Structure 1
Amino acid sequence: MTNLKSIRFFPRELKILIAVFVAVMTIGVTLGLIYIGVNTDYTPAGTQSYYAGDDVTSDFEIPEQYPKSIEALLLTTHTHVIAFSIIFFIMGGLLFFTDRLSKKWKLFFMIEPIISTMVTFGSFFAIRYIHPNFVYITMVSGVLMYGSFYIISFIILRESISRD
């Protein structure tokens, strides 16, 4: 019988599938981060502008960014919360079958990005409708979410390409 307690001991074919899946997922997430940078310059001001729109100081000024509509925010949030929940459920499930982390850290990385997903995408509404300074919550939760993703990906890839 095959030992399925760790990815390192999975059959070679399954390890290849996992490695390719995680690599492609990492490319997709990285492309999403590039898209964020194109739209926000990775700055608080750029993020505020993207969601809340630009401040207009005169009647003749045309804003570069208009405030996001409730429909646009709902569409973005709906699709991303569903997709990221699925991504982090799968990645968390794969992380469960790794040996590199203590149980406490493993549980943290299995749960944290799902919570950060809700905080990150929920804070878009707060930037738009409550106060632009909610951008700092967006940025902190986004860094935690994406940082967790890359750490999880690295651990899974490392174990899936090991020769044990």
Structure 2
Amino acid sequence: MNLKLYQLPKQIKRMIAALLFSLTFGVLIGLGFLYYTTSYSTQGAIERYNGSQVSEEFDIAENYPKPISEIFITTHNHIIAFSLIFTIVCSVFYFSSLLNNGWKTFFLIEPFISIIVSFGSLWLMRFVNPNFVYLMAASSTLIYISYFTMVILILYEILFKKS
């Protein structure tokens, strides 16, 4: 298929832009929640899932270790939601004309790998070793870099590139 985003009818371009703005709003809300619960720090993430350390016998922990049932539901919901979000964004991005095949292939595949690594490392951080938080942070960063790169390139092409 040689169809490119900039060649689409104006109505389809507007629908894609509206979809991407809506998805991005949801992604930003998720990032806001992540900041609220972890302050984007590795220590905050460890405390969120492994629980807070208490120094005195009568101290009350701010965070308790997450039970396995909560980790199951968190990973289940996020893996499915992120996979669907990236299926939509990658399907549109495939028709972009702004990147060559190597970079395009990277952005089409990388998010799906990072989804599994991120949420797999959450389990490893909770039940094996807290240092897996660094793997989770790196793979999560790649997820968001991929998402925003694709969205920006798609929006640029449908809003500014002329046929």
Q: TM-score range with shorter-chain normalisation?
A: over 0.9
Q: Which amino acid is the alignment partner of residue 146 of structure 2?
A: S
User: Is the 1:4–1:10 contact (alpha carbons within 8 Å) kept by the matching residues of 2?
Assistant: no
Q: Which amino acid is the alignment partner of residue 93 of structure 1?
A: S
Q: Which amino acid is the alignment partner of residue 139 of structure 2?
A: S
The structural deviation recorded for 1:122 is: 1.4
Partner of 1:128: 126
Partner of 1:102: 100
Give per-residue Cα distances to partners, 1:7-52, cap 9 Å, x unaligned. 1000111010001101111111011001000000000110100011
Partner of 1:113: 111
Cα RMSD for the two superposed structures: 1.2
Q: Which amino acid is the alignment partner of residue 153 of structure 1?
A: V
**Percent identity (aligned):** 38
Q: Secondary structure at the match of 1:77?
A: helix
Q: Secondary structure at the match of 1:161?
A: helix
- 5+ residue gaps, structure 2, are none
C-alpha separation in 1, matches of 2:101 and 2:68:
40
Partner of 1:51: 49
Q: What is the aligned counterpart of 1:13 among 6, 11, 25? A: 11
Give per-residue Cα distances to partners, 1:39-66, cap 9 Å, x unaligned. 0000011010001111223321211000
Partner of 2:77: 79
TM-score (norm 1): 0.95
4+ long deviations beyond 6 Å:
none
Q: Which amino acid is the alignment partner of residue 126 of structure 1?
A: L
C-alpha separation in 2, matches of 1:66 and 1:117:
25
C-alpha separation in 1, matches of 2:115 and 2:30:
14
- 5+ residue gaps, structure 1, are none
Please tell me whether residue 159 in structure 1 is matched to residue 119 in structure 2.
Answer: no
C-alpha separation in 1, matches of 2:86 and 2:53:
36
Q: Which amino acid is the alignment partner of residue 76 of structure 1?
A: T
C-alpha separation in 2, matches of 1:33 and 1:45:
17
C-alpha separation in 2, matches of 1:71 and 1:4:
47
Partner of 1:66: 64
Q: Which amino acid is the alignment partner of residue 109 of structure 1?
A: F
